[in-house]
A and B are shown apart, each in its own frame.
Chain A
Amino acid sequence: MTAGSADVAVRLDSVSKRFGNVVALNRMSFEVERGRLFVVFGPSSVGKTTALRTIAGLERPQEGRLEINGQDLTHAPIAGRNVSMVFQSFALYPHLTVRENFAYPLKEARVSAGDIAKRIDEIAEILKLGHRLDNKPETLSGGEQQRVALGRSLIRRPDILLLDEPLTNLDAKLRDDMRTEIKRLHRQFGITIIYATPDELEALSMGEEIAVVREGHVVQTGTPDELYLTPKDLYVAQKIGSPTMNVMGANLGGDGTSIEVPFGSFALPDITLPPGARDLKVGIRPADIRINGGAPGGISGRVHMLEPLGDITIVDIDAADQRLKIVVREAEALSLQPGAELSFNFDPARVHVFDAQSGQHIT
């Protein structure tokens, strides 16, 4: 155990896991600080679940190293890791009542009957499930089942709680409530949570730190702001931020000081281009484009479609064969009609430039 690892609850170091020919984890590495709410974010079947199952001990990696609290537990048995997990399917014991579901992990840990009863009362109080203790899981609503699953995981006071897409099986309204609930529980219990989700909104709103996963490895780790402001490559840039970043092909202007995009050109921002890089991609976030109402220097386009979302409206515009999305405030959008001409501009300093081949962000 090294001194620096004292605050690291979980460390994956180049962990690989294959199932037959399918590579689930491809040298995946990340570190989770103790007490953090850490989100593993990526579309379905990129290895998020396998990563969590590996931490829980349900899967043994073929390569790499897993440390929990500074100890190498790569090949350790499940028991003794003090890790608990909430499954996407909730995985409640269907033949047991809510009370018995709560009691199960404690019984397995040989906690005395008196303590079990006390802790069940505590957790039922925290999760507002007191009136449901003698019901079977199948009679509960989705949200209640979710809370039972959380309670069963929290009741034995684990060091690390793994949540595998816990909200995917709930309806939209309930998701909002449960997001708040999980954040509240995280604060209340102060434990390390690793949270896997394919949902960008969930990732950004819950995660203190987010690992963006692609095909079994972590592309970038950072706070929501870091990922939004300085994405490492096109993949992260297009995964983080809603609506999705506008990305278009671009060329370095002849004199090397400007960038040419389909609807015009702008001064090269303060970045260091690698030598010979001419084939570029440019990304502009929809929120970074402003309608300027015909002021000089504007780029002209035509409104294609409006998506009113209440306080903001997403406007699709066509500018020189390029479809762009921009976000405008509702008040501004009132005057817009499909087919109308408008002019817009953007701050070159907020433009992201990528190498078209590798997708790497150029800074």
Chain B
Amino acid sequence: MSATDKKSLADRLGLKVHSGVGNAGWGRTVFAAVISFIYFFPVFWIILTAFKTHNDALAIPPKFIFTPTLENFVAVFSRAYSAGAAAQDTGFALYFFNSVFIAGTSVLLALAIGTLAAFGFSRYPLRGNDTYLFIILTTRMLPAIVVIIPIFLMFRVAGLSGTYIGVILLYTAFNLPFTIWMMKSFFDELSPDVEDAARIDGSSDRRVFFKICLPQVKAGLAATAVFGLILTWNEFLFALLLTGVDTRTVPVAMAQTIGGDIGVRWGLLAAIETLFLIPVIVVTFMLQNHLLRGVTFGTIKR
């Protein structure tokens, strides 16, 4: 078979011959890059705006070339609330801590409880297992706005309003259905023979879970954690109504920064948003190898 025959065969089968840019070829790579950039543009624009002065941020036509400044980032944490007044602490250091603490704790709690529950649902099914799983999911079927009033009243009565524990419990409960469903699908994929082999090798059920099952679903834990983190990190409505002055999260504090004597301070908002993006990007980046395996699990294996 000659070289041309090979090429035409590859073409007929829709296969691309290897080139410097992987299997996709230049055309597709450039196309994907353009689409990616369109999606990324708002984020890019926010980051750009964070480095602009107030005047540059409002300039029409929009400026791509400007002298960058860090004044917005300084103003996030400390600024004068009226012209000529002394700069004050804005409390944003605390709000960032609150966001990290609340989102981190609730995601970890949901992961711990949800993974155990998922293992139970996967390995020790109850009579009517699917019904329970369905009921768990129904808690996420109502829009937040519908359940906010009863939850608000419950929190008032229970004295949980404005406390860390209150909002952490709420976010944990909100992350649980997703965590259970995700993790169950990962446990379902594991070979039961492997667990039986461990039992024969002398492991108790507890050790089978921790030593054999859990390490095999690391990718699932990573994927579930990232999705849960993004949801919790960005949550606004519950945080607005259920956090207090000291437990306020960044999205709520950001909303309250919008007003001001010189109109909306876009540069300041963009700086807050830029700082707000960093933790999620860092976590996602750290877990990205697991994440890719996690989201494709079950679709390519077996």
Contact = CB atoms under 8 A, between A and B. Distances in A.
Interface of A: 53, 56-58, 78-79, 83-85, 87-89, 91-95, 104-105, 108-109, 152, 156
B196 A58 contact: yes
Contacts of A58: 196, 199-200
Contacts of B207: 108
Binding site of A, secondary structure by majority: helix, strand, loop or mixed? loop
Contact of A91 (B191, B203, B215, B216): B191
Contacts of A85: 196-197, 200
Contacts of B212: 93
B199 A91 contact: no
The 8 A-B residue pairs with the shortest CB-CB distance, nearest first, are A108-B202, A91-B193, A105-B201, A91-B197, A95-B215, A87-B193, A91-B194, A89-B193
Interface extent on B, as a size class? 10 to 19
Contact of A87 (B196, B211, B215, B218): B196
A84 to B, nearest CB: 6
B198 A104 contact: yes
A87 B199 CA distance: 13
12 contacts: A53-B196, A57-B200, A78-B199, A78-B200, A78-B202, A79-B202, A89-B191, A89-B193, A91-B191, A95-B218, A104-B201, A105-B202
Interface in B164-200: 191, 193-194, 196-200
A1 to B, nearest CB: 25
Contacts of B191: 89, 91
B201 A108 contact: yes
A93 B200 contact: no
B216 A94 contact: yes
A87 B202 contact: no
A93 B207 CA distance: 13
Contacts of A156: 201-202
Given A93-B194, A93-B212, A83 B201 contact: no
Interface string B90-127: 00000000000000000000000000000000000000
A156 B200 CA distance: 11
B203 to A, nearest CB: 6
Contacts of B218: 95
Given A91-B191, A95-B215, A108 B196 contact: no
A34 B193 CA distance: 27
A84 B201 contact: yes
Nearest to A86: B197
Nearest to A149: B197
Contact of B200 (A83, A89, A92, A94): A83
